[in-house]
Chains A and B, each alone.
Chain A
Amino acid sequence: MSTTGTPAAGSTSPDFTIDPGSMRHLAQAQVNVELDTGDMILNLGPQHPATHGTLRLVVRLDGERVISADPIIGYMHRGYEKITEFRTYPQVTTLINRIDWLSSFANEVPFVSAAEKLMDIEAPPRAQYIRTILTELSRIATFLLFLGEMGLQVGALTPAFYGFRDREHILNLIESATGGRFHPNFNRIGGLKDDLPWGWLAEARSAMQVVFDACDTFENLVLGNEIFAARCKGIGIIPAKLGVAYGVSGSNLRASGVDWDLRRDGDPYLVYPELDFKVWTHPDGDSFSRYFVRLQETRESARMVLQCLDAIPAGPVMTKVPLIIKVPAGEVWVENENPLGQMGYYVVSKGGTGPFRVKIRSASFSNISILPWLLQGVYVPDVVTILAGLYFILGDIDR
């Protein structure tokens, strides 16, 4: 025990002779300790407004600069890949509605077409058109929310309300056609549950005008804002090659200059080969270009809906299928261009009423797997911009 009256920390060294030289050294060390600011570990989430749900980011900070970021996911993992093995095919569509809950209808389409491919049936043309319309409406609804939400994350409150307000028109359309605002569960293997209600096409046509107007508003209010540009240009740049190697898809990849859209380049599905649309890209790859690409894609989607409304044929919406659906044994990989990116199902059937194995490939999972790389060296406010710009849905990450 030391008797020099020093604090208890000195008790480890019983021999407490003071050497002036070492004291100088100690003082030096003390200065270094004081100047060297320690890192702070900040938990962003799982309850944080910028993480759209339950994403948790463990961020190591030096001042306000991020040294490293580690996304921790799984707070919402529902084990859909396991549950699908205990469900029949028609029951699975109810589940996969909940993967990307903002564009549920678009989730159903690839799974249903996977089953249709294995059964070698095809939905009637009218059903294909309605599926295309509703898929594009889901895309518009998702993107309108993004266009407002991004403004909110950058600090402007007003665009968020405009986004929600205008999305309501689209949700009303989806609701009147399918009966569900968020979880339509409208697809059946071999077609659709029902035809469109009376007057729906005219309603849809006028709603598209709302979408065009909303896009103009967002272009002026958010995209054209100097502060928004200052906050988003050059922030969170994903190089095209790296983005592709990480499996980033959809608008995020197109904003990096990769001209790849499954609606045009993939296996032809729905009626996209018959539609006339432009695939927008942007060379920069930053948050600003992601906003730009999504804004333009919203307009393209509205154009596509208008084209479908003009061209939709009459006829049945359901093909002949057996009452109890049994899918022949086989395997198939079906991928679609969903609002958030590439969504696909690898379905393995053993000839039963339910799938043997379904691998769900969701877009957000791969999109945010690039986060640890992307967040190095940015400031805390940029973390929020980058998260908002990547635009993920928690259900789409955790499945």
Chain B
Amino acid sequence: MSWPNAGGGRRSPLPDETTTPTETPGVEEVAVVPVSANAQEILNLINSELGAGVIEAIPLFSDVVVRVRPEAWRQAAEVARDKLACDYITFVSGIDWMPAPKEEGAEADGDTSTPAQPTEMTPGAAGAAGRFQVFAHVQSTTRHWGITFKADLDENDPHIESWVSVYPGADWHERECAEMFGFKFDGHPNLRLLYLPAAFEGHPLRKDFPLLARVVKPWPGIVNVEGMPESDSPEPDSPAAATTENPGA
């Protein structure tokens, strides 16, 4: 069966982008050349349009992370939509940078099935001023690039302007974020609970909210899991063995 081949293969977004590889500090090697050109263009546009609203803007893999001042949060969305062709809203969510309180029994006796939690607060990409950050990702369906916006929130009264008037799709994402982190989105038309029952107390995705299942019964971890093999053979099955079992290749 043969099929027409219209639009096959990868499309290069704009002709001039492929010709200008720029060295941007911090770009990882995996990011391919045209994307980092995109990143440079985004960074230039963001800096010129938002101006003082930008605290820090760095490229991150194929994307760009922009930390804006909370006052410029809504303006950032408008700039992204109108000036950067980012017509598509990917998500709005929050992050709590505070390390979770140390659990009883975690990491005990070399139990590797429970991940180690960090002990002190360290900011992520583009930095953070306090505990709470709201972050959102927008994308362009025409230019095929994406931007992550971040903004710091006040720890005692976390609130920020809503994006619903810019991106209607932010509605449910902000409702989820509001109930999970306890953030307020000013100007949101309908900030009801989305997932949680009405009588629920607390904000589950905050780091100080315990995962009840773990509190009631510790993760079986070392009890049920077979003992780890000795560390003198750290590799999985040797690649040579795998190659001999390639019937179809």
Interface residues of A (CB under 8 A from B): 73-74, 77, 79, 81-83, 85-88, 91, 117, 120, 124, 126, 195-202, 212, 241-242, 244-249, 253, 258-260, 264-268, 272-273, 275-279, 299-300, 303, 309, 312-318, 320-324, 329-333, 335, 342, 344, 346, 348, 350-357, 359, 361, 365-366, 369-370, 373, 398
Contact = CB atoms under 8 A, between A and B. Distances in A.
Nearest to A368: B172
Contact of A86 (B3, B10, B112, B211): B211
Nearest 6 pairs of A and B residues by beta carbon:
A354-B115, A201-B248, A316-B239, A74-B195, A247-B169, A314-B249
A361 B8 contact: no
Nearest to B176: A365
A323 B231 contact: yes
Contact of A81 (B4, B5, B194, B205): B205
A321 B95 CA distance: 29
Given A73-B195, A299-B3, A247 B141 contact: no
B28 A120 contact: yes
Contacts of A249: 88
B239 A318 contact: yes
Contact of A276 (B9, B195, B231): B9
Which secondary structure characterizes the binding site on chain B?
Answer: loop
B79 interface: no
Interface string B30-67: 10100100000000000000000000000011110100
A199 B61 contact: no
A111 to B, nearest CB: 15
A82 B176 CA distance: 13
Contact of A202 (B4, B137, B209, B248): B248
B101 interface: no
B125 A244 contact: no
A247 B89 CA distance: 5
B8 A245 contact: no
Nearest to B214: A86
B196 A331 contact: no
Nearest to B207: A85
A314 B3 contact: no
A117 B10 contact: no
* Range for the number of chain B residues in contact with chain A: 35 or more
A331 B60 contact: yes
Nearest to B235: A320
Interface in B97-131: 100, 112-118, 122, 124-125
Contacts of B117: 352, 354
B63 A88 contact: no
B148 A333 contact: yes
Contacts of B172: 365-366, 369
Contacts of B144: 260, 265-266
B237 to A, nearest CB: 7
Contacts of B226: none
A52 B231 CA distance: 47
Given A246-B169, A299-B3, A348-B95, A318 B124 contact: no
A12 to B, nearest CB: 34
Given A195-B242, A318-B242, A323-B234, A331 B141 contact: no
A359 B60 contact: no
A201 B122 contact: no
A236 B29 CA distance: 44
A262 B102 CA distance: 40
Interface string B9-30: 1110100000000000000111
B118 to A, nearest CB: 4
A264 B167 CA distance: 25
Interface in B178-229: 180, 194-197, 204-205, 207, 209, 211, 214, 219, 228-229
Interface string B154-184: 0000000000000111011100000010000
Given A246-B89, A333-B137, A361-B90, A317 B9 contact: no
Nearest to B180: A81
B137 A346 contact: yes
B28 to A, nearest CB: 7
A110 B167 CA distance: 25
Contacts of B7: 259, 264, 278-279
Given A85-B100, A200-B248, A318-B242, A354 B116 contact: yes
Given A82-B204, A120-B28, A278 B3 contact: yes
Contacts of B246: 126, 195-196, 314-315
Given A85-B100, A247-B169, A321-B236, A333 B248 contact: no
Contacts of A329: 122
Given A82-B209, A264-B7, A272-B10, 8 more contacts: A77-B196, A88-B114, A247-B89, A247-B91, A247-B173, A276-B8, A312-B248, A332-B60
B247 A198 contact: yes
Contact of A265 (B11, B100, B239, B247): B11
Nearest to A322: B234
A322 B169 CA distance: 41
Given A77-B195, A245-B89, A265-B144, A366 B8 contact: no
A352 B113 CA distance: 12
A303 B91 CA distance: 32
